[in-house]
Structure 1
Amino acid sequence: MSEEYERKTDRLASALGWASLGLGAAQLAAPGPITRLGGLDDSALARGMVRLVGVRELFHAAVLLGSRRPAPWVWTRVAGDAMDLTALGRAIANREGDRRRRVTAVTAAVAGLTALDLYTAMRANRRRPSIQPEGAMELHAAITVNRPRQEVYEYWHDFENLPRFMAHLASVETIGGGYSHWKAQGPTRKCIEWDAEIIDDRAGELIAWRSTEGATVRNRGAVSFTDAPGRRGTEVRVEIEYDPPGGKVGLAFARLLGEHPEQQVRDDLRRFKQVMETGEVVRSEGSPEGIRALRQAMQRPAQPVR
């Protein structure tokens, strides 16, 4: 699914989080009026149940508003809705007259919220699937580049430019028809090759790709380009999913060498910013090797040139 689709789903989930916050606060602050308004009896047991539901709603609010990706947590609200509808159904059967009408009205309102919760949760399930649930890595990074959006998009879209700022890429060869051949260097200097195809391409906005069948390193990802606030250039966001060579063992080994994938992507974006804004990767006397990540690990404080 597109990044915009996911952002809309998360915004909807956050709105449900605010709704839970309001409901939970009201149920804890005024359980008596709520039980009477809903057609329930005003007993200590009923007020206690309303307070418990309020605590649960505050829990929903905490996980939805406190999560960077709140949409999958909406399933907790769906489970709570099911319990509420069951309890309200029993209350309807035990009420008559005006109290029964009020319980029915509350049940209809909860059913409406349940439908919205279920819709949001199902949207979250339709997000882009992982390449391999067991052991797959998901990376996110972003940077602001002080260049026009179209210019930034066009430079990245020429995949043969990527090795200029991606430290572990040896080369990218454009094959044609949306396909390209990639060569990369792993932590042990082993050369890894694969083919990739573009699966979504929107001029000036988005480039999405995935590896082809049989790739040594299965991967997919997307890079999006949006105007930065205050006319500060272009915001570049990268999302990558891939199956690390050697699985978790390979990933742990890479970390020991100081080459964690998340840090690699962030470093690559910093070098991309340098290339776009200055025309080259900035080198210093203390780090003359430039983009070589292993050499950068041994960099030293710069000294005046004698």
Structure 2
Amino acid sequence: MSDRYDRTTNRLARGLGWASLGLGVTQLAAPKAVIRLSGLEDSASARPMVLLVGMRELLHAAFLLGSRRPAPWVWTRVAGDALDLSLLRRAMATRRRRRVAFATAAVAGVTAVDLYVGIRANRLHPQAVPAMRLHAAITVHRPREEAYRFWHDFENLPRFMAHLESVHVIAGGYSHWSAKGPLNTTISWDAELVEDRPGELIAWRSAKGSVVPNRGMVRFADAPGGRGTEVRVALEFDSPGGRAGLAFARLLGEHPEQQVRDDLRRFKQVMETGEVVRSEGSPEGVRALRQAMQRPAQPVK
């Protein structure tokens, strides 16, 4: 039964690979038709974006059709679906809302299938979900005790951690965290403080049964030459997409280690200036996916 289940999941994944191949060829061969059918504005940036999405679909096809066990690679399609839905949501402001709504519904339906196959793949190959260990550091030009106190109030974390929506402190060293998940979903979990050395170290871990098990530690030390505080972060968590998801995240420039470094840069800005430096071109701060859509920006009004 398990072998048949395995074959069925991989067969579904290869079917999605052929779908990606067809979509990629269509988007590269007829980008104007895709723009028209999707309801997108025929602007100077629309055609290059459709071509990039087409090349991405061909990459999905290569992963899914070229692997002996293609099922885990379906998570690359899930990541791509999230990006497509984000782009279509922005396009809802155009005059062709009906076409955009139809395209959004179609992509959402495909996303549901991709998620179904991806979840089946994780159940079949739990060993493909490795623990990710991340390390990052930055020097902040503020006293060590001040940096420690700001981080120790976990409710401050969403001010510089872009993926976090909120953190609420609960009695007994526990806190409730909510983060942005794929497709505009919210992922929540409880965490407990496991070590606390004032001015030196804060360590926490997710409570048992969390959707994404994780743990973290941040160290504070005086920087050489009286230049402020060295902040070193170590994180460990289980990647839902396994190695396939992590590989595709690298290709998109959204690897978790890069996100942690971006978070630390924002922490430095908050500590030194009181706010995260933003612009009209990227109001949510620095995110790698935004680099593909960069344009001259003005200060936020």
Q: Which interval holds the TM-score relative to the shorter structure? A: 0.5 to 0.7
Bigger mean CA offset, 273-282 vs 251-260: 251-260
Q: Report deviation, 1:292.
A: 5.8
**Mapped contact 2:279–2:299 kept (Cα < 8 A):** no
- Which stretch shifts more, 168-177 or 244-253? 244-253
TM-superposed deviation, 1:252:
3.3
Letter in 1 for 2:165: A
In structure 2, distance between residues paired with 1:257 and 1:188: 16
Matched AA of 1:260:
H
1:208 aligns with 2:209: no
- The SS at the match of 2:218 is strand
Aligned residues: 174
Q: Contact 2:133/2:237 (CA < 8 Å) preserved in 1?
A: yes
1:279 aligns to what? 274
Corresponding residue SS for 2:199: coil
> How far apart are the structure 1 equivalents of 2:277 and 2:168?
25
Are 1:219 and 2:214 counterparts? yes
The aligned amino acid for 2:136 is A
- Name 1:231's counterpart in structure 2: 226
Match of 2:177 among 169, 173, 182: 182
With over 3 angstroms needed to count, the CA separation of the structure-2 counterparts of 1:140 and 1:275, relative to structure 1, is same
Is 1:258 aligned to residue 262 of structure 2? no
The 5-angstrom pairing of residues 2-151 of structure 1 reads: 135-151=130-146
Shift of 1:261: 0.1
Deviation at 1:174, TM superposition (A): 0.7
Structure 2 CA distance for aligned equivalents of residues 304 and 208 of structure 1: 37
Shift of 1:188: 3.6
Summarize deviations over 1:200-223 as a string: whole Å, max 9, x none: 000000000111110111111100
Q: 1:147 to 1:304 in 2, by over 3 A?
A: closer
Change (3 A) 1:213 1:144: same
Please say if residues 183 and 193 of structure 1, whose CA atoms lie closer than 8 Å, have aligned partners that are also in contact: yes
Higher relative contact order (CA 8 A, sep 6+): 2
**Aligned equivalents of 2:278 and 2:268: distance in 1?**
14
Verify the 8 A CA contact 1:274 1:281 in the aligned structure 2. yes
Distance change >3 Å, CA 297–CA 264, structure 1 → 2: farther
Q: Which letter does structure 1 place at the counterpart of 2:163? A: H
* One-letter amino acid of the structure 2 residue matched with residue 264 of structure 1: Q
Residues 129 and 243 of structure 2 are in contact (CA less than 8 Å); yes or no, is this contact kept in structure 1?
A: no
Aligned in 2, Cα 1:146/1:294: closer, same or farther, shift over 3 Å?
Answer: same
Larger Rg: 1
Letter in 2 for 1:238: V
CA contact (8 A) 1:144 1:228 kept: yes
8 Å contact from structure 2 (residues 131, 236) kept in 1: yes
Q: Which amino acid aligns with 2:152?
A: H
Q: Name the CA distance, whole Å, in 1 between partners of 2:240 and 2:198.
A: 32
TM-score (norm 2): 0.53
Amino acid at match of 1:270: R
Cα distance between partner residues in 1 of 2:189 and 2:219: 23
What percent identity do the matched residue pairs reach? 77
State the secondary structure of the residue aligned to 1:138: strand
Change (3 A) 1:236 1:274: same
In structure 1, the partner of 2:189 is: 194
Question: Contact 1:153/1:225 (CA < 8 Å) preserved in 2?
Answer: yes
TM-score, normalised to structure 1's length? 0.52
Can you list the C-alpha shifts for 1:166-198, whole angstroms capped at 9, x where unaligned?
010011111121101111113443321111111
For structure 2, the residue ranges without an aligned partner over 5 or more in a row are 1-126
What is the alpha-carbon distance in structure 1 between the residues aligned to residue 292 and residue 157 of structure 2? 22
> Which residue of 1 is the match for residue 147 of structure 2?
152
Give 1:248 deviation, angstroms. 2.2
- Relative distance call for 1:148 and 1:185 in structure 2 (3 A) is same
RMSD, matched Cα: 2.4
Q: Give the Cα separation in 2 of the matches to 1:304 and 1:213.
A: 44
Name the counterpart of 1:269.
Answer: 264
2:157 to 159, 162, 167: 162
Query: Is residue 279–residue 298 contact of structure 2 (8 Å, CA) maintained in 1?
Result: no
Q: Is the 8 A contact 2:129 2:241 kept in 1?
A: no
User: Do the aligned partners of 1:165 and 1:271 also contact (CA within 8 Å) in 2?
Assistant: yes
Local SS of the residue matching 1:221: strand
